[in-house]
Amino acid sequence: MTTAAHAGITTSVISLGHGSDSAELEVLSKIGGGRFYLIDDATKLPAVFTQETILASKGAIKEDPFKAGAGSPMPATRGIDLGAAPSLGGYVVTVPKNRATIGLVAQEGDPLMATWQVGVGHASVFTSDFKDKWGQHWLQWPDAVKMFGQLGRDTARKADDPRVRLESDSAGGTMHVRADVVGDDGRAQTFRRLSVHVAGPDGFSRDLVLEAVGAGRYASDIPLSRPGTYVATAKDEISGEAIATTGTVLTAGEELRPTGSDRALLTRTAMMTGGKVRDKLAGAFDDRTARRFAYTPINSALAFAAAFAMLLGVASRRLGSPEFARAALERAMIWRAESREAKAIRAKEYAMAVRRAGDLEKMNANLIATKLRSTTRAKTDRGLGVIASAPPQAGREAGPAGVHPGQTQVQQNAPTKTQQPAARVLTAAERLAQKRRERR
């Protein structure tokens, strides 16, 4: 291949798919001075061969003076008067991509300035020269600076949307992508339609939709197969614009790398928890200051007791119970019935006694009220006095000793000193106690 290159023969290499030898094939294309094509679809092979045929039929570089012609409208050529553009000294012959936008053309319609989309980004190319070799006259053309400035701004990555925060990390061979979206008012937006484009090593490229997992939060997972750097770009599916970019790195066997022990961290942890730092496990349980209690489950014992009780019940039903057990059970039932009857009788007697005590209290209250009324009437009569005059009668009408008939007598209702005092009225409790004594 080196001999062919010295003889002016270029060698181009095509790699069909991402194989383990793709890197070596690219090196061969560089040694042969040709081009390297990495394609995934075999249907693109005719286009590659056609492009190589076109490039081989004519020189790859044309150094004839020409003027740039207008192609498709693009942001880089907006406001540029191409009629006043000076001539260029040459350009590199290329074949445009299928989705490329050609803004300037050279001789025979060859692309001079073109842009196309790569994933969610943009790529631009100017096949001539903006230096003193081919573009000497363009250096003095004022609109050239403006055109290349617009081309740079159109190709450069747009600033991230401040309302979208995109994060990613890799763990266990999986890339986790998360996006938090808020509106202009700061509230979470849950109805956005977002997708993410992930680019990685060896031409890795994946597009997937971010699913809503919460209020204003979207997430998705991507399995990764090769270590390297992966870049995720989120875009709005409605507008198609990129709104945020993030990245992560998948390392090869990072969890297998020996890290050793962080003695400083272990010492600090032991001091905070009241422990000790030991180099050996011997005697690790000898420093306990207080006894520790362990609890043994009694499930087995309870199960054995339940089984024994079940067997005892079955045996008693099958074999019958002994005579003394039946007699003891009958005595217990009789005693219980007698106890209930005696308790009922005591309760009934107590209720009758309470009722009688209430009746006696009412009678006592009536007697006391009657006595109070009679006493009040006697006091009233004694205070006023009652004069009774009666004609003298036969001896049976004579008054008391010392009082002659015909004399005036003052009758008093109050009892005299010679009269016996009335008996004290018993209380209800005393009458109840007396009746119990009589019943005995």
Please give the full DSSP string across 220-237, using - where no structure is assigned. Answer: EEEE--S-EEEEEEEEET
- Structure-model confidence comparison of residues 362 and 323, the more confident one: 362
Is 127 inside a domain boundary? yes
What's the average model confidence in pLDDT over 96-108?
A: 84
Q: Is the pLDDT assigned to residue 425 strictly greater than 80? A: no
Residue 127 and residue 192 in one domain: no
Residue 78 and residue 128 in one domain: yes
User: Rounded to two decimals, what is the model's pTM?
Assistant: 0.38
CB 11 within 8 A of CB 29: yes
Task: Select from 25, 41, 57 the last residue of a domain.
Answer: 57
Say which CATH number the domain at 223 has: 2.60.40.1930
Is 19 inside a domain boundary? yes
Residue 71 and residue 102 in one domain: yes
Is 385 inside a domain boundary? no
Which residue intervals of 181-298 are DSSP H helices? 263-273
Q: Is the pLDDT assigned to residue 307 strictly greater than 90? A: yes
Q: Domains in the chain: how many in total?
A: 4
| Average pLDDT value over all residues in the chain | 78
CB 12 within 8 A of CB 36: yes
| Residue listed under structure tokens 């880089």 | 76
Q: Is the pLDDT assigned to residue 197 strictly greater than 70? A: yes
Residue 181 and residue 146 in one domain: no
Q: How many CB atoms lie within 10 A of CB 112?
A: 23
Q: Is the pLDDT assigned to residue 362 strictly greater than 90? A: no
Task: Select from 238, 255, 272 the last residue of a domain.
Answer: 255
What is the per-residue pLDDT for 306? 93
Q: Which domain holds residue 76?
A: 60-156
Strand 111-118 relative to strand 101-105, pairing: antiparallel
CB 114 within 8 A of CB 105: no
CA distance 98 to 49: 15
What's the average model confidence in pLDDT over 376-402?
A: 50
Residue 22 and residue 88 in one domain: no
Residue 103 and residue 65 in one domain: yes
Residue 348 and residue 434 in one domain: yes
Of 12-16, 41-45, 320-324, 359-363, where does mean pLDDT reach its minimum?
A: 320-324
Q: Is the pLDDT assigned to residue 355 strictly greater than 60? A: yes
CA distance 151 to 427: 123
Q: How many CB atoms lie within 10 A of CB 376?
A: 9
CA distance 180 to 195: 13
Residue 30 and residue 80 in one domain: no
Per-residue pLDDT tens digits for 186-195:
788 878 888 8
Task: Select from 222, 237, 255 the last residue of a domain.
Answer: 255
Helix axis angle, 428-439 relative to 323-384, nearest 10°? 130
Residue 212 and residue 127 in one domain: no
Per-residue pLDDT tens digits for 17-50:
777 778 888 888 888 877 888 887 777 788 778 7
Is 363 inside a domain boundary? yes
Per-residue pLDDT tens digits for 78-97:
888 888 888 888 888 887 87
Is 199 inside a domain boundary? yes
Residue 53 and residue 64 in one domain: no
Question: Between vectors from CA 303 to CA 301 and to CA 309, what angle results, nearest 5°?
Answer: 105
Residue 53 and residue 97 in one domain: no
Band (pLDDT 50/70/90 cuts) for residue 399 is very low
Range with top average pLDDT, 56-65, 141-150, 315-324: 141-150
- Structure-model confidence comparison of residues 156 and 218, the more confident one: 218
Query: What are the residues whose beta carbons fall under 8 Å from the beta carbon of 103, sequence distance 6 or more?
Result: 70, 71, 72, 73, 74, 76, 77, 113, 114, 115
Q: Is the pLDDT assigned to residue 100 strictly greater than 80? A: yes
Band (pLDDT 50/70/90 cuts) for residue 304 is very high
Say which CATH number the domain at 129 has: 3.40.50.880
Q: Which three-class secondary structure state does DSSP give residue 34?
A: strand
Q: Which three-class secondary structure state does DSSP give residue 124?
A: strand
Q: Is the pLDDT assigned to residue 73 strictly greater than 80? A: yes
Residue 356 and residue 437 in one domain: yes
What is the per-residue pLDDT for 270? 87
Per-residue pLDDT tens digits for 117-128:
776 677 889 988
Q: Is the pLDDT assigned to residue 302 strictly greater than 90? A: yes
Range with top average pLDDT, 169-183, 297-311, 386-400: 297-311
Residues of the chain above pLDDT 90, percent:
3
DSSP code of residue 252:
S
What is the per-residue pLDDT for 381? 61
Read off φ and ψ for residue 331, nearest 5 degrees.
Answer: -60, -40
